[in-house]
Amino acid sequence: MGTPMETDGPLIDDSLYSRQLFVLGHEAMAKMSMTNVLIIGLKGLGVEIAKNVILAGVKSVALYDPNPTKLSDLSSQFFLHKEDVGKPRAQVSAPRLAELNSYVPVSVVEGELTEEKLAAYQVVVATDTPLKQQLSINEITHKRGAAFISADIRGLFGVAFNDFGKDFKVLDQTGEEPVHGLVAAVANDKEGVVTCLDEARHGLEDGDYVSFTEVVGMPEINEIEPRPVKVLGPYTFSIGDTSNFGTYKSGGIFTQVKQPKIMSFRTLKECLSKPEFVMSDFAKFDRPAQLHIGFQALDQFAENHGGELPKPRNEQDALEVLQLAKAINDKAEESVELDEKLIKELAYQARGDLSAMAAVIGGLVAQEVLKACSGKFSPIFQHFYFDSLESLPKNSPITEESCRPRNTRYDGQIAVFGAEFQDKIANARQFVVGAGAIGCEMLKNWAMMGVGTGPNGQIFITDMDTIEKSNLNRQFLFRPKDVGSLKSETAVKAVISMNPDLDGKIRAFQERVGPETESVFDDDFWEALTGVANALDNVDARKYVDRRCVYFRKPLLESGTLGTKGNTQVVIPHLTESYSSSNDPPEKSIPICTLKNFPNAIEHTIQWARDLFEGLFRQPAENVNAYLSSPNFVETTLAQGGNQQEIFESIHSFLVAQKPTLFEECIVWARLKFEEYYNNTIRQLLFNFPKDAVTSEGTPFWSGPKRAPEPIAFDAENPLHMEFIIAAANLHAYNYNINGRKDAEFFRKVLSNTIVPEFTPKSGVKIQVQEKETPQAPASDKDELERLIQALPPPSSLAGMRLKPIEFEKDDDTNHHIDFIAAASNLRATNYNIPVADRHKTKGIAGKIIPAIATTTALVTGLVCLELVKLLDGKTSMEYYKNGFVNLALPFFGFSEPIAAPKLKYYDKEFSLWDRFDIEGDITLKELLDQFQQKHGLEITMLSCGASLLYSFFTQPAKAAEKKAMTISKLVETTSRKPIPPHVRAVVLEICCNDREGEDVEVPYVRVVIRPRSNQMQE
């Protein structure tokens, strides 16, 4: 079950929801776990919403859809199978949805949806529901203050609508951590200008509220209610009248205080005539108003035709929808200018059912459900329209004939893209790198689309990881029974079950994609691909795949999420820059002196505790093992320089001076460490810099970001003190393979008999104060070093002994790792009077946990698949492609054209990162030099391959002549002194060149094909 977290409401399984908790928080999740949700309509969109809401963890989900399953539903409904055709959609889907989360009961509502039945739900979601029924349901929900959401997809068009009642309270509009900072001054006047320390911008906006603590000289400001701010600059803001307050002396922390916002929603009936829109694409600002009319016209058409929507690409039906739209528009309070092509396109695609659109709108709407449950984040107010008409194929016929139903599972897709384009999708050869959250969603969408199912098609997936419990909250292809299994293999089995057409057409790998696996993912593998999608969680792996895609000239679909934020990027050969062309700014590091001596924020103490964990439980044990197993360890260490004495002291301590044989000795060790870190070190610091110390400028030393610490006297009755001792003792015992204990009474008994040596601060101890003071490692006393080495037992006397170094693992609640870091950090925070952090926050910071939620992942992957369709169509104009950034918390959607690949030039020839000199055949160096001189007018002055310099203009003539006679492969092998692996078909050469005038010019790299393509790939 994992460790439940205490909340005001029900218990929350931290091990399952850990990544989501960092998005929503415990309070929001507690409210969700008391909310019953009804989802109407179980086609692709309905099941996508249900999947995301169930994974998120509401109290219960009820499903309503008595309609029989049709074969065409399988275009996007991943929990329906061919054998379900004719059976009620809700009945069939319920047990499969219930498997997603054992904490969320899933039921089916039978019969008519009466007011009495609707009264059981706090949130009602209507999909694939006629407008008349939406209006009547919304009237009921609005009257009783329940939330109502309606949503639909029609081909490449989507809509969502919210009504959360007259007085809906938003508790946190953005979900961002409240900003805080250190105060340098506060003015005594009507403006009340606050000046912050210039080490960081305050990050506030006009209208934000702040409160204050620890301000000296102006006690009133620490007691006032939160005040609104007016931003004056990056380091200043005003808070209003402070003229009656005392005079500011020093110190102070400001903290942003989130204020609730009351939103008054109108009913769907009211919003039909007076809509309010959230923009999905600012380049299409005139679309929402037109689509608002168009969707009403579609509903009217269906009502006039017994529930049937317009036939795909049928001109007569489209004209009828257009006339209905004009009539609705004419009666509207504010008529809009209708684009006839847009309305007709909506009619043409009305029967379209695309998994990518279900993912986009389904992810969005599921997040709105969670907002309705919790008051966390800003809801859509009130209508949202989205389209991706750029995804419509331009290079395949789209006619009534090509879009007619074929009685296949892909008919919902064929209705939009046509049968010929369906063949392109089926014969694609796509590689998805990673089978985590994005990888699972990608495979699901590709399975629904039929990617790789054709005679020439194939999907490849690789992931080296195994499934953990925390994955189950968003990697929805996995179940509790799969924990411990390989992600890639499990994901493949799951999507074959969703679409058996993939059987034999999808292959799982368990290898990391990197230089070390280029014999697995070799030239033949890459060259045969249609394209690649990254589903990775680290930048280095992303950059490697990006380099491979540039080299093999394959399109790359890149995406990522961070909580409610998501981004997508499409990399197109010869058109766009690559993923690696731009970099995020580096992570801001904490100065060493701040970590070691002058922390002022909980983040500083947590990082200190994380470093302490490595320095106590991993590094010393690794040093001991290296000493015991490496014959030349002493000589090698002495030759390396650095702080050798510290290394040998730790080995001596762990093998001789403090080597425990009983658990009681581990407890004593932990108690002495407590004294060292939280008493002795602090007393030494205060001895060097007393609380009344002043700088050479005469200002107090302990001011600004420097907080004067207080030593801590150990108290066995203090729970925090005991948490440190218990965790440290058990981890130290683990190093020595000694069985640990947790009973506090046993610890207290041992501690009562522990003698702690007296400590006296010493003069002459150097403490780093400024970051620019690079502390010198203490010089090793040669005699002391020799004594230490001589005192070490010979490795032969400890044959077979090894310590167990501890690798930090954040997700095991029983291993004491987070317990130790939380206690160590909070004790140091207590030293420095910094507010302590709970275990959850400590785990997030120490474990560098990336917040994640299924809603964002689903939406982002849907956007990626809309770009995939464009790539498969072979579109060559950048205007069709979109890079996206979304933030579901706000909600915000931003799309832009990809950035074009920068162009360089030599002579009159332009080139970009996608260009190179391609040379077929293993020619000699002389032939290469001559070819460049004669064909390109370039003199190669230097030639290298990787780290090997193959040739340069200053090479001695005899040596140059010898090299020129060699083939390129022989030259590379001779210079690098390594054979070229058999899987390598081509070598990459970097060249420096002079032009005809003898000027140095920048040119592309050279690719020399030294081995022909394998027979298998030639076939």
What CA–CA distances, in Å, run from 748 to 604, 680, 741, 757?
Answer: 30, 22, 12, 18
Pairing of β 1006-1009 and β 986-994: antiparallel
Query: Is the dihedral angle over the CA atoms 539, 513, 431, 898 positive or is it negative?
Result: positive
- Please answer whether residues 375 and 31 qualify as being in contact, where contact means their C-beta atoms are separated by less than 8 angstroms: yes
Sheet holding 230-233, edge to edge: 227-228, 209-213, 253-257, 180-186, 193-196, 236-238, 230-233
Phi and psi at residue 545, to the nearest 5°: -60, -40
The distance between the two most distant Cα atoms of the chain, rounded to a whole number of Å, is 99
Checking 658-665 for CB contacts under 8 A at 24+ apart, the result is 659/736, 660/732, 660/733, 660/736, 660/738, 661/738, 662/738, 663/729, 663/733, 663/738, 663/739, 663/740, 663/741, 664/750
Outline where DSSP puts E strands in 768-914: 883-887, 892-896, 904-906, 909-911
Cis peptide before 20 (omega within 30 of 0): no
Pairing of β 123-127 and β 236-238: unpaired
How would you class 793 by CB atoms within 10 Å of its CB: exposed for 0-12, middle for 13-18, buried for 19 or more? middle
From the candidates 593, 666, 865, 992, which is the catalytic residue?
593
Residue with tokens 């997809």: 153
Query: Is the dihedral angle over the CA atoms 909, 912, 918, 923 positive or is it negative?
Result: positive
What CA–CA distances, in Å, run from 805 to 625, 737, 802?
Answer: 9, 10, 9
CB count in 10 Å sphere of residue 518:
16
- Give the ranges where 85-235 is alpha helix by DSSP (H): 89-98, 115-118, 131-143, 219-223
- Please answer whether residues 145 and 164 qualify as being in contact, where contact means their C-beta atoms are separated by less than 8 angstroms: no
Pairing of β 429-433 and β 458-462: parallel
- Please answer whether residues 530 and 429 qualify as being in contact, where contact means their C-beta atoms are separated by less than 8 angstroms: yes
Task: Please give the structure tokens belonging to residue 846.
Answer: 């120490």
Sorted by sequence, the CB contacts under 8 Å of residue 860 that are 6+ apart come out as 363, 438, 559, 560, 561, 566, 567, 568, 884, 886
Residue with tokens 């609640």: 813
Distance, CA of 304 to chain centre: 47
What CA–CA distances, in Å, run from 55 to 28, 125, 782?
Answer: 15, 16, 62
- Please answer whether residues 725 and 671 qualify as being in contact, where contact means their C-beta atoms are separated by less than 8 angstroms: yes
Residue with tokens 């949700």: 37
Task: Please give the structure tokens belonging to residue 328.
Answer: 């609705």
- Give the ranges where 653-781 is alpha helix by DSSP (H): 663-675, 681-688, 719-735, 744-752
The per-residue DSSP string of 361-378 comes to: HHHHHHHHHHHHHH-BSP
Q: What angle do CA 923, 933, 917 make, to 5 degrees?
A: 60
Residue burial 385-424, b: 16+ Cβ < 10 Å; e: rest: bbbbbbbbbeebebeeebbbbeebbbbbbbbbbbbebbbb
Residue burial 53-69, b: 16+ Cβ < 10 Å; e: rest: bbbbbbbbbbbbbeeeb
CB count in 10 Å sphere of residue 147:
25
Sorted by sequence, the CB contacts under 8 Å of residue 191 that are 6+ apart come out as 238, 240
CB count in 10 Å sphere of residue 1012:
12
Is 593 a known active-site residue? yes
The residues carrying an active-site annotation are: 593
